[in-house]
Amino acid sequence: MKNIEIIITKDGSIGLYNKSLGEIYHSKEGAKTEAFEKFVMPCLPLNKKPLNILDICYGIGYNTKCAIENFNTIKSIDCVEIDFKLAKKSFEFEYKSTKNINKIIKENLKKPDFINFYFNDIRKIIKKLDKTYDIIFHDGFAPHKQAELWSEDLIYEIIKKLDKNGLYCTYNHSKPVLNALYKTGITIGKTIKKNRTIGTIASYNSNLIQNPLNNFELGMLKTKSAITYKDKNLNSNHKLITNYRNLEIKNSTLETLSHYLKKY
Ligand SMILES: C[S@@+](CC[C@H](N)C(=O)[O-])C[C@H]1O[C@@H](n2cnc3c(N)ncnc32)[C@H](O)[C@@H]1O
């Protein structure tokens, strides 16, 4: 793990920084706080029934750990992570909780009970997962570093795995990602903290979405800046995907975002 640096985030929990990618794994404001506020808290309304959860980009597992801490009945958690070493590394970091969460996960890694690990590219795994999920966490690195984790093709496959009354959650609220979600026909909402959008929540059941995108925000998805990332065969690399998107933007006749904003 030579290219990974440990940082102490503002809530005292450990966060990681990837030196070669120049990208953080966790918010500097608090790795544990981020897992709760952007992923678990928005899904608490579903905490009435046994849950099947999909954790995409497990990393060192904050979202899964926070889910185990906060949900009463979890039927299963499927965790997908490309880097096996990270999952092992996570046991070095204490996760403060009344439940011994690291022990629960370690045992499941040895002998899966309700937690299953898939150490592979999510793009190779997603079509093979044979259930629908009540909750899906999507926590990839930012699109300008790893566009392959946010293509409309991958998002389409992810949303196909969501139960009709399930919730999809991500910290990402960039326009290409919102537009990719919009194209699936799902209702999209904002996760809000102190009047600021900190993430996205989406569901087929619009009753579950408290702060849906308004008409002004939906209008932005029709501008050039919301042109999605494409990865038709789920096997292109970041450079190819971004080059193709840049070309699409260049050739597009759609309105620019700045022009759209000036109208309001
Ligand atoms: C922002 S970090 C996730 C942090 C994590 N949720 C946590 O709580 O520690 C992004 C993660 O995506 C993983 N990743 C990158 N490309 C991937 C891929 N194609 N499939 C699955 N995981 C991937 C990285 O190894 C990294 O751990």
Count Cβ atoms below 10 Å from residue 227 Cβ, excluding itself: 18
In ligand 1, which atom is closest to the CA atom of 60? Answer: 9
Number of domains in the chain: 1
What CATH number should be reported for the domain holding residue 122? 3.40.50.150
- Do β-strands 133-138 and 162-170 pair in parallel, antiparallel, or remain unpaired? parallel
139 domain residue, yes or no: yes
Give me the pLDDT at residue 59, please. 96
User: 46 CA distance to ligand 1 centroid (A)?
Assistant: 25
pLDDT of 163-191, one tens digit each? 999 999 999 999 999 999 999 999 999 99
Which residue has the least CA distance to atom 13 on ligand 1? 57
Q: According to the model, what pLDDT value does residue 2 have?
A: 79
Buried/exposed 94-108: b ≥16 CB within 10 Å, e otherwise: ebeeeeebbebbeeb
Q: Which of 215, 219, 239 is CA-nearest to residue 229?
A: 239
Provide residues with CB under 6 Å of ligand 1: 25, 57-63, 80-83, 86, 121-123, 139-141, 146, 149
- Which of 37, 81, 154 has most ligand 1 atoms within 8 Å of CB, for mutation? 81
220 falls within a domain: yes
Report yes or no on whether pTM surpasses 0.95.
yes
Using 50 as the pLDDT threshold, list the residues of the chain that sit under it.
none
In which domain, by residue range, is 79 found?
Answer: 31-263
The answer to whether position 20 is within a domain reads: no
pLDDT value at residue 92: 87
Q: What is the pLDDT of residues 102-142, one digit of tens each?
A: 999 999 999 999 999 999 999 999 999 999 999 999 999 99
Strand, coil or helix: 192: strand
Tell whether 186 is covered by a domain.
Answer: yes
| Token digits of residue 19 | 């030196």
- Please report whether residue 14 resides in a domain: no
pLDDT of residue 94: 86
